[in-house]
Structure 1
Amino acid sequence: MPNLIRSGGEMFNWSDRVGRSNPLLHHLIAELAGPGRTVLVAGPHPADLVAALDADGAEVTWVLRSLTDAEQAATTHPTITIRSGAFGKIDLTGGYDLVVATDGIGRLNSAEGDQLSADELFQLLAGAVRPGGALVLMHDNQLGAHHTVRLDPGARFRDSAAWSVDVDGPASRAQLTARLTASGLAPAGVWAAFPEPADPAVLVGGAALGDAASPLRSWLQTALAHAYTTAFRGRPVLGDPRELVARALRAGAEETVAGGWLVIAAAPGAEDRLRVRDDVLVADVNGVYAVDADGPRMLTPADTPLEFDGLRRVQVLQPTAGCLLEDRLLALCAAGDVRGLRQEIAGYEAWLGTGPISGPEALADLSGITVTGDGLAVLFAHWAPVEPVSAQIALVRALWQFAVRLLTWGRPHPWPITASAADLAAILVGMAGRSLADEELRAAIDLQVVIDGAEFGLDPAGQQAHRLALRAVQPGTAPVDVTGYHQLVEALWRQRYQASHLLAMMEWTERIIQSRDAELSRMDWELQLLRRGWGGRGLMLAKRAYKMVRK
């Protein structure tokens, strides 16, 4: 393999191989690369990303510490120069137009070589950037929500960096930019990456980062909740990360719990050319797009199908200042304000209308609808029905989903003793002046299963399991998407509360029955006593005579 260069310190019988590339990172890197440019890929990266850089005409050099990975990469990509070994032993003289380190610096050190400090690694990365070039770096946030809620026993024995502890690396965005500046680079764009640094779905930077008064706040809450739902669906966690991120977002401290920080740093001579103007970048089923107060701007459309099982893909994203309808209903439920709930639900029912609905409002969650001064508006939606959906089914689906969240999230509401989510949904639908039939509820649940199947890529077996789980939701059921240990404990407490309440009712009923039996026994004894005496016999004869006279 002539394109493989061994520099020493390679790790034998070890692999750092990763999966497919992230669309957000792919887009940003592709914008900086191009024909004739020299690119250094530092550390393990998705093979399709490196291959795409090579296909675009860039001269690519890929540094890997695993000899097994390096040999396979050299065989698979013969036009790419592969260097294997410890990062500190690799000759990087000459410089590169672009240095890519979106895997961070944690896997640049080799177990077979000297352990370089974070500052030394930053110096090596910065030194590899030639004047006019750029560095794209992702740095993991050790205080991020993905670490805080992590529940993965034995992970330290599987972690590729288990033999070292990063105690001298940057621990905040400010420290990271300061280290890069000290290395001779000028940060041209800095984003907080959510939910995880290896696979970000939302990048927040610029004026939108930490601005609690930004009109993007409500939309960011919905977008981040969706990103964490997708990332942590079916994974065991200590607690629901969406709650932690939502509280941080309301406080304007989202960068503190971000998964990591993505930095594009420019070498001298490239500061103005690389100045990034997009504050928020998002990747979802529609592709990669930038978001500002005026709405989304598509950057790279997705190549996924436009239709899926009766749904068509749409992009509804209107960052509008206002309160989410779901948050308002949750607040009214917590306050026990039944009158306010009835007014809000009636307003939502009137907004849906009475005829069939073909737009995204038919499938929009209550968390994707905002309450503005002009009324309700769809804030966030990915899907719309191919065939129109009746207003009744749309109303039932939205309110049933809200009932599921009330029960599985353990939120307080005015009807704590309900048998299931279906019963609670019937109460909520009744507030809109409508009744709920069993076939309508089944149709609403099936519609929700189709939406989740399109959003999360569920196969038929997964959809059926999801359908059964949704139909079985009752007080004490854990969340059906992101199940955390905290939520499981809360669900267990709710089950015990329900059981203790039922036991108390049974004991009370038994005491009432015993009391009535005792009273009846006493009255029967008194009656028998009276009947055995002469006075009692006389009264009985008089009673019979009175009845005969009346006849």
Structure 2
Amino acid sequence: MNPVRLIGGEMAGWTDPSPVSGALAGRLLDLLRPLVPEDGRVLVAGPHAPSLVDVLGSFASVTCLVRSQSDALALGGHCDTVLCGTLAKLTDTDRYDVVVALDGVDRLCSPEGPQHDWAESVRVLRRALRPGGALLLTVENELGVHRLVDRGLATSGDRSWSPLGEFGTKPGTPARLAERLTADGLTVGWLASAWPLPTAPSLAVAVEVLRDGPAGALAAAVTGAVAVAYADQPVLADPRRLAAAAVRAGLGPELAPAWLVLAVRGDRAPTALPGVLTADGPTGALPSGRLVEELLITACLGHDLPELRRVLGLWALRHPGAGFDNLVLDGDTLHLLDPARPNREPGVVLHGFARTLLTGGYAQPWPAAADVPALTAILLAVAGLGPEPPDCPEPGPAEPRPVREHEEQVRRFEHRLAEAADQLRHTEIELAKREAELRRARLQIAAFSGTVGYRLTRLGARAARQAVRAVRRSDPS
């Protein structure tokens, strides 16, 4: 029996790229198990990876709703029923215990039918829930970090016919999102920010935890997730610095790439989900303190040499192979955030930090150290590890390629070239002066060498030298 049902508005010859995937999404779906009764039904709305559908299929009867006909055929072997068509064709006759829309609602309508905005799409999904049913929804933040650093346009691609940003009805903050869902008769039980990308999250942090939790450890977790997603990718600005600054300033939920929300139709309290969830599962208590990398950059900006020696000394004594973005310092206590992350040679760690200082345009107490090897040697000496940097440092993890930092490097090179040009002009002026003095001296020598007095003086000096040599030969002693 063919599980694919064409309900109208299906898109033939089209496929939705980048469906939701990742281990975190699988962990999150597995946490929905207590919400599904025996022989319960789950609706998966939008493009999702088949592996995620298989997770739900292990404990529920799964129905998928996609607009692409080719995507529907690909999902046919992973779920009980596939509804192929636009969201507007979804009827109220079928009710589900859980509705999953981790891709959001932007790719549920097709150009072959009515174009529902965000609010209308959410209402359709709510009507598909049984009383007491749960909705797991992803809402992309149009002002998230991923938008702020993206070099492309938000209006490009397959969603170009849909209203975006200030032209749509999508809520722009977590607070507004909760208010809108409550107004539609849904009780919000869990609201979290998703990092680093809406379609491939690897970290979910509850909004209240991200706003009021230990900023240092949370900033490190968010930075690590963003660094992996944007490794060796061209971006407008470094997303790691932007995300960490947002978390430290208490704006992490507002600048998160997306929000994950679990809401229940009615007044029943939904199942509580973890405050911090990664691909490996819920995390334990996070340590307090500040990230070592932030402390070192702050000390460099303030030319605080005692603080630099203190922090680098503690690092060299206790965790010399750990990266500065994997350590939190609370007083004089260092906490390792991810013990599974491999260690590197101390010289390699300091080499990477020196590159961060120079490529990021950060001020530092040694302006004469204009290249990475020279600055690495100084940092090694400050840490008490010797003055010699590694000859061939092993390559570190790939980093984002921000345009802003590249422009800062160009500015520094232009400044150094301007200084070199000034020195060259000064040298040319000094050479011109020396050449003029040498020409004057040669003219004077040539002028005096032709006079009678000059010739007589030379003859007298020669006769005197001959007389002295004759006296010395005649002296028997």
Question: Counterpart in 2 of 1:184?
Answer: 185
Cα gap change, 1:339/1:189 in structure 2, threshold over 3 Å: closer, same or farther? closer
Which residue pairs with 1:201 in the alignment? 202
Aligned position for 2:391: 441
The one of 337, 351, 358 aligned to 1:407: 358
Question: Which whole-Å CA distance do the structure 2 matches of 1:529 and 1:48 have between them?
Answer: 99
Q: Distance in 2 between matches of 1:26 and 1:39?
A: 15
1:272-294 deviation digits (Å, cap 9, x = unpaired): x5133x222223xxx22334xx3
Q: Does 1:225 align with 2:223?
A: yes
- After TM superposition, the structure 1 = structure 2 runs for residues 21-170 of structure 1, keeping only pairs within 5 Å, are 21-33=21-33, 36-54=39-57, 56-74=58-76, 76-77=77-78, 80-152=80-152, 156-157=155-156, 159-166=157-164, 167-170=168-171
Alignment of structure 1 residues 239-278 onto 2, 5 Å? 239-268=237-266, 270-271=268-269, 273-276=270-273, 278=274
Q: What amino acid is the match of 1:430?
A: A
Distance 1:541 1:497, change over 3 A: same
- Asked if structure 2 preserves the Cα contact closer than 8 Å seen for 1:364 and 1:380, the reply is no
| Bigger Cα displacement from structure 2, 112-121 vs 532-541 | 532-541
Does residue 323 of structure 2 align to residue 365 of structure 1?
Answer: yes
Instruction: Point out the more displaced range, 370-379 or 83-92.
Output: 370-379
Report the AA paired with residue 234 of structure 2.
Answer: P
Provide the residue aligned with 2:403 in structure 1: 485
Instruction: Give the CA deviation at 1:41.
Output: 0.6
Note the alpha carbon deviations across 1:67-103, whole angstroms, 9 max, x for none.
22212322x23x5111111112122424211110111
1:270-349 alignment to 2 at 5 Å?
Answer: 270-271=268-269, 273-276=270-273, 278-283=274-279, 287-291=280-284, 294-295=285-286, 319-321=287-289, 323-338=290-305, 341-342=308-309, 344-349=311-316
Structure 1 residues 379 and 508: CA distance shift in structure 2, 3 A: farther
Residues 540 and 208 (structure 1), Cα distance of their counterparts in 2 relative to 1, 3 Å cut = farther
Query: Secondary structure of the residue that 1:430 maps to in structure 2?
Result: helix
Conserved? CA contact 2:210–2:218, under 8 Å:
no
The one of 338, 346, 364 equivalent to 1:395 is 346
Equivalents in 2 of 1:369, 1:491: separation in Å? 28
TM-score by length of structure 1 reads: 0.77
Q: Deviations over 1:32-51 (max 9, x none)?
A: 13552211111111111112
The AA in structure 2 aligned to 1:320 is: S
Aligned residues: 463
Paired amino acid for 1:21? S
Task: Give 1:36's aligned amino acid.
Answer: D
SS of 1:517 mapped into structure 2: helix
Q: Answer yes or no: is the 8 Å Cα contact 2:20–2:47 preserved in 1.
A: no
Look up the SS of the partner of 1:505 in the other structure: helix
Contact 1:363 / 1:383 at 8 angstroms: preserved in 2?
Answer: no
CA offset digits 1:368-400 (Å, max 9, x no partner): 223322344434453246xxxxxxx73212211
Measure, in 2, the Cα distance between the counterparts of 1:31 and 1:375. Answer: 35
SS for the counterpart of 2:185 is coil
| C-alpha distance in structure 2 between counterparts of 1:547 and 1:339, whole Å | 73
AA partner of residue 189 (structure 2): A
TM-fit CA distance, 1:18: 3.7
How many angstroms does 1:62 deviate by? 0.8
Question: Any conservation in 1 of the 2:347–2:376 contact (CA below 8 Å)?
Answer: yes
For residue 235 of structure 1, report the CA deviation from its aligned partner.
2.2
Given that 2:216 and 2:248 are in contact with CA atoms closer than 8 Å, whether structure 1 keeps it comes out as no
Take 1:384 and 1:267, find their aligned partners in 2: how far apart are those partners?
45
Distance 1:24 1:548, change over 3 A: farther
Q: Write the deviation string for residues 248-278 of structure 1: whole angstroms up to 9, x where unpaired.
A: 222211112110110000123631x5133x2
Moved more, 339-348 or 6-15: 339-348
* Matched residue SS, 2:391: helix
Name the counterpart of 1:304. Answer: none
What is aligned with 2:173?
172
Secondary structure of the 1:108 match is coil
> Quick one: distance in 1 between partners of 2:401 and 2:24?
27
Q: Bigger radius of gyration, 1 or 2?
A: 2
Question: Which stretch of structure 1 is more off in the superposition, 367-376 or 529-538?
Answer: 529-538
What displacement does 1:523 show? Answer: 3.5
> Do the aligned residues in 2 keep the contact of 1:221 with 1:246 (CA within 8 Å)?
yes
Letter in 2 for 1:425: T
